[in-house]
Amino acid sequence: MFALRLESAARFLDVIVEHSGRLASWTGFALVCVMAFNVLLRYLFHTGSVAMQELEWHLMAPVSLLCIAYAIKHEGHVRVDILYGRFPPYIRQVLEVVSCLVAVAFSAIIIKLSIGYVMQSYLIGEKSPDPGGLPYRFILKAMIPAGFLLLLVQSLAATLRSLIPFFGGVVPPAAQPDKPLEHAAE
């Protein structure tokens, strides 16, 4: 019964990460459009815009930070399992819980440390130092706590899922950590 509640909570957290990741992934499309526009300006019209060039790396922040949790949810990260695969299932499950808890703690620390950084930027009205650059630098910096908040949510979901076997439940095949990527979709 408790194992079902853990899985239900993990699925709820997965939905948050899934929707946020899909939404944030559209910034990749926006980044390609901005880059193409900048290339057109530069080579066809021999001109450019500082703001548009800055927008390229402003769009890179959501792509990289907000999509971390989404990539981990879909096993798009690198897992080094030279030793992990040789351990008995119980040890692997304990390592999974510990690694998920470390990710939760790390994410919480980064969020706590970065909020002051974002608030300082907002309070001083930080903007680009370049003439014609973009204002509202705090929005770019806000991607740090936002991205790590999503990572924290995903890490909590993984923690809940990794606890299921300890309460007599079975982890669904798509959520098992040692499944190869091609079997995770089954």
For the chain, count helices (H), then strands (E).
Answer: 7, 0
Tell which residue, 179, 174, 175, 157, has the closest CA to residue 14.
Answer: 157
Lowest mean pLDDT among 35-39, 71-75, 112-116: 71-75
The tens digit of pLDDT for each residue in 162-178 reads 998 888 767 655 554 44
Whole-structure pTM over 0.95, yes or no? Answer: no
Strand, helix or coil for residue 163: helix
SS3 of 80-112: CCCCHHHCCHHHHHHHHHHHHHHHHHHHHHHHH
d(CA 58, CA 40): 19
Residue ranges of domains in the chain: 2-184
Percent of the chain whose predicted confidence (pLDDT) is above 90: 48
pLDDT of residue 183: 40
Q: Give mean pLDDT, residues 141-167.
A: 93
- Rounded to 10 degrees, the C-alpha dihedral 171/172/176/182 comes to 170
Q: Under a CB-based contact definition with an 8 Å cutoff, are residues 55 and 134 in contact?
A: yes
